[in-house]
Amino acid sequence: MRRSVCIGSIILLLAVGSNRAVSGEKTPPAQPQQAAAASAEVKIDNFKFGPEAVTIAAGTTVTWTNRDDIPHTVVSTDGVFKSKVMDTDERFSFTFSKPGTYEYFCSVHPKMTGKVVVQ
């Protein structure tokens, strides 16, 4: 039932790896059965999360992809999520169900930080 509430206002995010701020004015008329597919992507290039900050709607799945020659991790500062180590081209996904700001970093290279804002 909570899902049906979300569907009306859900923002279908197709982050394309740019730094484009995502705002949610336009909502495609999503089919109810497809609404759960809301997703966003973060690429890891040159020891940086790109984009460093993503803003998403609750229920969105964020997928991180490591495109470096060096392994990285995605670890929530507050312990909410933690990936296994990702070698080149490996991915990690997490679905954010609750609004809030989730800061994270790479536990191998802690200078690498990012955040996910869930609205």
Partner 1 sequence: MKTKKQDELVHDHNHDGIDRRGFLKCMAWAGTGALCVMQGGVLKSYALGTAGGSGAKVSAGELSFVQLSDSHMGFNKAANPDVAATLKAAVDKIGALKVSPEFMLHTGDISHLSKPEEFDTVDQILKGASAKDVFFVPGEHDVLNDDGKQYRDRYGKQGSGKGWYSFDKKGVHFIGLSNVMNLKAGGLGSLGAEQIDWMAQDVKNLTSSTPIVVFAHIPLWTVYPEWGWGTEDSAQALALLKSFGSVTVLNGHIHQTMQKVEGNVTFHTACSTAFPQPKPGQADAPGPMKVPADQLRGLLGITEVRSVHGKHALAVVDESLSEKAETPHASNY
Work out whether 88 is an interface residue with partner 1 (CB under 8 A).
Answer: yes
* Choice from 71, 81, 93, 95 touching partner 1 (CB under 8 A): 71
Please write down the HEC assignment for all residues of 22-72: CCCCCCCCCCHHHHHHCEEEEEEECCEEECCEEEECCCEEEEEEECCCCCE
Query: Taking the complex as a whole, how short is the minimal distance between the CB of residue 39 and partner 1, in angstroms?
Result: 25
Q: What is the DSSP letter of 4?
A: H
Work out whether 109 is an interface residue with partner 1 (CB under 8 A).
Answer: yes
Query: Taking the complex as a whole, how short is the minimal distance between the CB of residue 119 and partner 1, in angstroms?
Result: 23
Helix (H, G, I), strand (E, B) or coil at 5: helix
Strand order from edge to edge, sheet including 113-118: 53-56, 113-118, 100-105, 75-76
Query: Taking the complex as a whole, how short is the minimal distance between the CB of residue 65 and partner 1, in angstroms?
Result: 16
Give residue 17's region: left, alpha or beta (phi > 0; psi -120 to 50).
left
Work out whether 70 is an interface residue with partner 1 (CB under 8 A).
Answer: yes
Work out whether 107 is an interface residue with partner 1 (CB under 8 A).
Answer: yes
Rg (CA), the chain: 14
* Contacts to partner 1 from residues 30-49, by CB under 8 A: 46-48
* Choice from 55, 60, 66, 73 touching partner 1 (CB under 8 A): 73
Give the residues lining the site for partner 1 (CB under 8 A).
46-48, 68-71, 73, 77, 84-85, 87-88, 103-105, 107-111, 113
